[in-house]
Amino acid sequence: MTGAETSPDAAPLTVLLAVDPEEENDHLVRELQRLRGGDPWETHVLAVAPPDPDFVGFEEGTPTDRDQQAEGLTRQRHRLDALVRKMREEDGFTVTSHYIRGQTAEAILQEAEKVEADLIVVGSHQRRGLARALLGSVSSTVLRSAQRPVLVIPPDSDESTT
C-alpha cells in the first residue's frame, strides 16, 4: 500500500487505530507509519474508557471515588491528545481522535462501522495462561467479530508478555 501501488485518484485509506489509553502506543504508530509509506491515510485514533459500573444496588461511589475516576479519565484523554498531536505534527498523519466509554471490543467494532474504516488496527498484549483467561483478549474478539479487515500488531520485543 505504498504510493507506487495506489492510483493518484484513489480515495485515502480510512484506518481505525484502537489504542490502550493506559499503555504506550508508539510501536503502533511506527508500524502504521511504515505501512502507509507516503500514502494519505485518513486515520481515526480510538481510545475506549471502561463503562460506568451498573451494578444494581450500588451507589456511584464516594466523592473521592468519583474524583479518582475523573482524574483517570482526564489522564487518559491527555495521553490520547498527546499521541494524536505527535502523529499530526511529527509523523504527518491526517488524524481524528475518538475517546468513548464502553466495552472495548464492542466499541472498536461500532466505531469502525461509524467511520467506515477500510482497516482496523489493534495492538496485542500477548498475554498467556491465566491472565488471558481472566482478562480475555480484545484483539482476538475484534479479529473474530469484525466485518472489516483487521491488523493485529504485537508488542515491541522489549515489552513484557505476562
pLDDT at 15: 97
Architecture of domain 14-53+62-153: 3-Layer(aba) Sandwich (3.40)
Question: Which pLDDT value is given to residue 7?
Answer: 56
Give the residue extent of every domain in the chain: 14-53+62-153
CA distance 37 to 3: 7
Q: Is 102 helix (H, G, I), strand (E, B) or coil?
A: coil
76-119 pLDDT, tens digit per residue, is 999 999 999 999 998 889 999 999 999 999 999 999 999 999 99
CA angle (141 as vertex; 138, 146 as ends), nearest 5:
120
Which residue bears the cell 483487521? Answer: 150
Nearest by Cα to 126 from 83, 104, 157: 157
Amino acid of residue 132: R
Task: List the single range of 8-22, 114-128, 130-144 with lowest mean pLDDT.
Answer: 130-144
Check: CB of residue 149 under 8 Å from CB of residue 120: yes
The whole-number pLDDT of residue 12 equals 87
pTM for the model:
0.81
One DSSP character per residue, 26-95 reads HHHHHHHHHHHTT---EEEEEEEEPPPP--TT--S--HHHHHHHHHHHHHHHHHHHHHHHHHHHTT--EE
